[in-house]
Amino acid sequence: MDLSRKNTPSFVQKEIEHMEELVSPVSKKASKYVFWSFLLMPLSFFNLFVILFINPSSSRSIPLMAVFYAVLGAAGLALYREARFHHKEILKKAHGYILERINNSRVASESQKKEFTFLIQKQPIRALDFFIQFLEQENKKHKRDNDILNS
């Protein structure tokens, strides 16, 4: 789904911005964790490989360096797992926002609300697509209702 500012209607942009505000603190934290994990893991794995297989010498500092890089790699893996946890939290918050927004709609009918809630719960990967479809239907109904009132 293309969410660029040019192609997206303003009513959809507004809802997406509300959702981004809700998840932005968690997503910033997750981004930092991913950055550091992808920096630490390759660095430690590469250096461990070099120390253990390419340049194995009998120096006393080799075991200490190997332990250091192993701890660095473990820290990178731990940060990656934490980032995955935060990613799940982001999805949970976004789905919660979407479902709450659908259920609190004053324009949509109860059958529409139930239908979209069911679709989002059944296919959470496509939640944003369904949400945008809901917003478009809601906007069309809102315009029709206003046209009827103004006639």
- Residue 151 CA to residue 143 CA, distance in Å, equals 12
Q: What is the three-class DSSP state of 20?
A: helix
The chain-wide mean pLDDT, for the chain, equals: 90
| Residue 1 counted as domain residue | no
| Residue 3 counted as domain residue | no
pLDDT, residue 62, reads: 81
**Total number of domains in the chain:** 1
| Residue 4 counted as domain residue | no
Beta strands in 1-151 (DSSP E): none
Q: How confident is the model at residue 3 (pLDDT cuts 50, 70, 90)?
A: low
Q: What is the three-class DSSP state of 122?
A: helix
Between these two residues, 64 and 96, which has the higher pLDDT value?
Answer: 96
Domain extent for 61: 10-150
In this predicted structure, the answer to whether residue 56 has a pLDDT above a threshold of 90 is no
In this predicted structure, the answer to whether residue 6 has a pLDDT above a threshold of 80 is no
pLDDT, residue 90, reads: 95
| Residue 42 counted as domain residue | yes
**Average of per-residue pLDDT across 18-41:** 95
Q: How confident is the model at residue 2 (pLDDT cuts 50, 70, 90)?
A: very low
CB atoms within 10 A of CB 41: 18
**Average of per-residue pLDDT across 35-40:** 96
Q: How confident is the model at residue 1 (pLDDT cuts 50, 70, 90)?
A: very low
| Residue 115 counted as domain residue | yes
